[in-house]
Amino acid sequence: MVKLLKYFAKIFVISTITLLTVILPQSAVAATIPYTITTGIPGQSTTSGATFLTVNFSIDYRSGQMIFSGNPDGTGSTGVDDAAMVWVVKRPDGTSASVTFRYDNGCAFISHKPPQDVTYLFKPGVNQVQVKLYDICGVAIGSSPLYLVNTNAPDPPSLKTPLILIPGIGGSELKVEADTIWNKDDGHGGTFNHAYPKDEKVWVNEGEAGNPGNDDYFDVLRMKIDGINSEASLGLTGNLYAGAYQGAINFFTGSSYILNQDFFVFPYDWRKDVREDQNAMDSLVEQAKTASGQTKVNLVVHSMGGLIAHNYIADPGKASKVNKLIELGVPHLGSVDSTKA
């Protein structure tokens, strides 16, 4: 049994890696973030000392270079008649800094400057910036396009749609909730006697599953004839069976997902009617939305987990909370009967 579960788990992980490019966020890459000062000001006459443009904005600086340039990609020379002052009015630590670029050459002629590195003006965090363009010589005013450009900046982390993994029957661990003495018909002409201590993991108990011979140890999983109540007091451990699903969990957490923040698992009592899990499923969906700040979730389901998901989205109100449903090995037409050797 254990080998079979691990075999299907391996197939599940391989299939997951193949299919989930449709939902995995792309890795952050270096970005260029331009802040527009002006797209250009035509030349015109003026009086001496006039300030002809004042621009205020905030820059959330994290890393990379800050370039004062004539193009939004950080290239291109700048020209102002007569001067430009870049003033970081308030840096995150409360200090300020500024630099002034003069283009008038002693009021003889206007020259252009190559892109200027002004990274030293900024501190990591939100910087309040003011840029002023002003006249000195009293002849004319004007400006080329001007930008402050954050080059080689990391893209802001994308808000991922939270992901919920719903396993098959081999995934949800079950334990006995109280000390249990089992003394019942074993189904093959005898009686099975066994003491289960409180919190013993019954499903999947690898040691017992690997023992040769009969599988009477798992009789404690039996349901009463009503199909609703269990013959013994069993409950979920809250974990997925590591032998079957740890590989999938590792894949997601290794792909920038954070467990219980934007990645969740939904263990369930697979012995019961899938309709009994709808409220618990909805609670987890709401938890995922709240934790991630998103309005919808993605569901990745395996085997019987697909039936849980389909029952959930059969309700239009609940279906509206699901962005994508990705299925792997779901028994839509039922499953084959097990054969006992």
Instruction: Report all structural domains of the chain as residue ranges with CATH numbers, in order of start.
Output: 2-26+160-328 (no CATH), 30-154 (2.60.120)
At 224-253, the pLDDT tens digits run 988 888 999 999 999 998 888 998 899 899
User: What tokens appear for 1 in the block?
Assistant: 């049994």
At 56-70, the pLDDT tens digits run 999 999 899 999 999
Cis check for the bond before 204: say yes or no (omega within 30 of 0).
Answer: yes
* pLDDT at 336 (0 to 100): 64
Contact in structure between 322 and 313 (CB atoms under 8 Å): yes
Query: Nearest 5 degrees, angle CA 306-CA 2-CA 232?
Result: 75
* pLDDT at 21 (0 to 100): 56
Q: Report the distance separating Cα 101 and Cα 132, nearest Å.
A: 11
Task: Give me the mean pLDDT over the 12-40 stretch.
Answer: 68
* pLDDT at 80 (0 to 100): 96
Count the neighbouring beta carbons within 10 Å of the beta carbon of residue 311: 17
In the predicted model, is pLDDT for residue 341 greater than 50? no
**Beta carbons within 8 Å of 20's beta carbon, 6+ residues apart:** 255, 300, 326
Task: Give me the mean pLDDT over the 214-230 stretch.
Answer: 88
Q: How confident is the model at residue 206 (pLDDT cuts 50, 70, 90)?
A: confident
User: What element of type H or E holds 162?
Assistant: none
DSSP 204-255: T-HHHHTSSS--GGGGGGPBPTTSSSBSS-EEEEEEE-HHHHHHHHHHHHTT
Percent of the chain topping pLDDT 90: 66
At 305-333, the pLDDT tens digits run 999 999 999 999 999 999 999 998 888 88
* pLDDT at 255 (0 to 100): 84
* pLDDT at 23 (0 to 100): 61
Q: E strands within the chain?
A: 30-38, 41-45, 51-61, 65-69, 80-81, 83-90, 97-102, 116-117, 125-134, 140-143, 146-154, 163-166, 172-176, 180-185, 191-196, 201-203, 234-240, 263-265, 297-302, 322-328
Q: How confident is the model at residue 25 (pLDDT cuts 50, 70, 90)?
A: low
* pLDDT at 60 (0 to 100): 92
Contact in structure between 32 and 150 (CB atoms under 8 Å): yes
Q: How confident is the model at residue 15 (pLDDT cuts 50, 70, 90)?
A: low
In the predicted model, is pLDDT for residue 42 greater than 80? yes
